[in-house]
Chain A
Amino acid sequence: MSHSHTHAPGESHSHSHSHGPPQPQAQPQMMLPTPDPASQAIIEADFRPVSLIVAPEAYAVFCQDHKSEKCEICDQDYVGLNRLAKILATNPAIAAPPPPNVVSRNLSQAVNHTKEEGNTLYKQKKHPMAIARYTMAASIAVQRPPWETNQFMREELSTIISNRSAAYAESQDYISALADAETVIAVRRNWSKGHFRKAKALVGLGELQEAKEALQLGLAYEPTNAELSAFSAEVEKMIQNGDEKVKDEA
């Protein structure tokens, strides 16, 4: 069978598509629909060999001409492939990426722990250290195995970055706070906190109109959010005060 994966030592792969016509699936226990030979022929015709090289010891694939993982000139990007290959290589117990509902608990604990440390530092007004902690927590969170349900990473990442944004805002670094808030919104668009943080950062930068728009966007996602409404009213007042001042000066 040309599709069986016989990789006994000494035997070459019998997967290859250039050797003879493919045979339709003859494995009744699979209950897969048999592939249409005409479509398979089209797929085969579409094949163009790629110039890449394999570094078996490093479990990585590189472009042939420049030996780089991500090569603009050859238009090849193997960063993701190599990352996954390495994860699989260092965990030989995992034959294949498991279904998404399998989650690694240790990671969540580590992330939470670091985040709590950051929170404590934030409450103690030690903002630079809190920021450092949050950054560390985020980097741990990002190392979650990519095949797990993205729900957890989404929540963890958005909470941590939103806290970091608050810490930046308290340190008067509104640009960084804004950058973080934008990240939070991009990761989790319907979360009110993200929009709230963005508005806070914009107010810190003095951009009241944009802050108001950010809040309105947040309210569009969550119309009943008290925090957003209260802050929105505040920003309105600030805008009016600002207008009055301009009028007085004029």
Chain B
Amino acid sequence: MASVWVPVVYVILVFGGLIVFSYFYRKRTASQALEPYFPTHPDRNAYVTLLQKTDPPTPDVILKAALVRRAMTDVQRVMRIREDKPALQNLLQKGSIGDDLWNSLLAAEKELEAEIVEVMAEANSFVEGWGPVIFQTANEMIANEKMRSIFELTAEKKTELELKYGKKAHPQILVPQVNVSLTPNPPPSGPAPSGAPSSPSPPKISNGSSAQTPGGPGSAPSSDGEASRSPSKAVGITQNH
């Protein structure tokens, strides 16, 4: 007669087989490479490249600026993932997409969290306490950049509309290009004594942001889009009206 143990052994075999199989199967799926959700991170690559330059080492201001750009890309990705996640979840439930895309998204989300922690750490290494602030800064800079580009595209929009309606805009009056600019001599204004009352940024800021006009090859003028038509006359304007 069969012993009492036979059914027990049978049960153990079945479940044991299941456990062993699931262990190996999970290992296999975990090791399969996931399609990256985002393409390469150019700002991160640029930042690390700059960091690695030792001959000569890049100036701190450039590194800080590169770090802020990296933070900006991260912020954009966070928003994108936040938008995509519920939508993808919906599609997944309905069965329109496969698991792969969802797993890619989750992996990207995790990577992004690690990336954010890293950026905060790097920010803190430059200036104490900069870590939390850098992402707020990045947020504002994204909005700022968007507004700037809208503003600077006004001229192109004009040509587009001219084509659309078949009428011409009036010829541009030649306005002196107002770059609150950095003339080659030291800035004519005396901003140092007055200084801004409550902000840490002295009025020299305006000079800084347009200093690119003399030097930058092909950089967009920091004033309005009409600059393309009007002659570029640097007018030194003091901030202290």
Contacts and interface: CB of A to CB of B under 8 A. Distances in A.
Interface of A: 3-5, 7, 12-13, 15-18, 25, 27, 30, 32-36, 39-40, 42-43, 46-50, 52, 54, 56, 58-62, 67-70, 75-76, 78-91, 93-100, 102-107, 109-110, 113, 128, 131-132, 135-136, 138-140, 142-150, 153-154, 157, 161, 171-176, 178-180, 182-183, 186-187, 205, 207
B148 to A, nearest CB: 6
Nearest to A129: B173
B64 A96 contact: yes
9 A-B pairs closest in CB distance: A139-B223, A90-B208, A39-B114, A5-B125, A150-B143, A84-B65, A85-B65, A175-B169, A173-B170
Contacts of B125: 3-5, 15
Contacts of B162: 175
B114 A183 contact: no
A134 to B, nearest CB: 9
A150 B147 contact: yes
B161 A32 contact: no
Contacts of B40: 46, 48
Interface stretch (B4-12, B18-26, B80-88, B197-205): B197-205
B141 interface: yes
B68 A84 contact: yes
B197 A105 contact: yes
A89 B200 contact: no
Contact of B216 (A82, A89, A139, A154): A82
A13 to B, nearest CB: 6
20 contacts: A13-B54, A17-B51, A35-B117, A39-B111, A43-B118, A61-B50, A79-B220, A84-B64, A84-B65, A90-B207, A93-B202, A96-B126, A97-B137, A136-B175, A140-B237, A145-B205, A148-B144, A175-B162, A179-B158, A187-B150
B201 A104 contact: yes
A25 B123 contact: no
Nearest to B57: A13
A27 B131 CA distance: 13
Contacts of B111: 39, 42-43
Contacts of A132: 173, 175
A56 B201 contact: no
Interface string B33-67: 00010001110111011111110111111101110
B161 A91 contact: no
Interface in B168-215: 168-170, 173, 175, 177-180, 182, 196-212, 215
A99 to B, nearest CB: 5
A43 B170 CA distance: 53
B28 interface: no
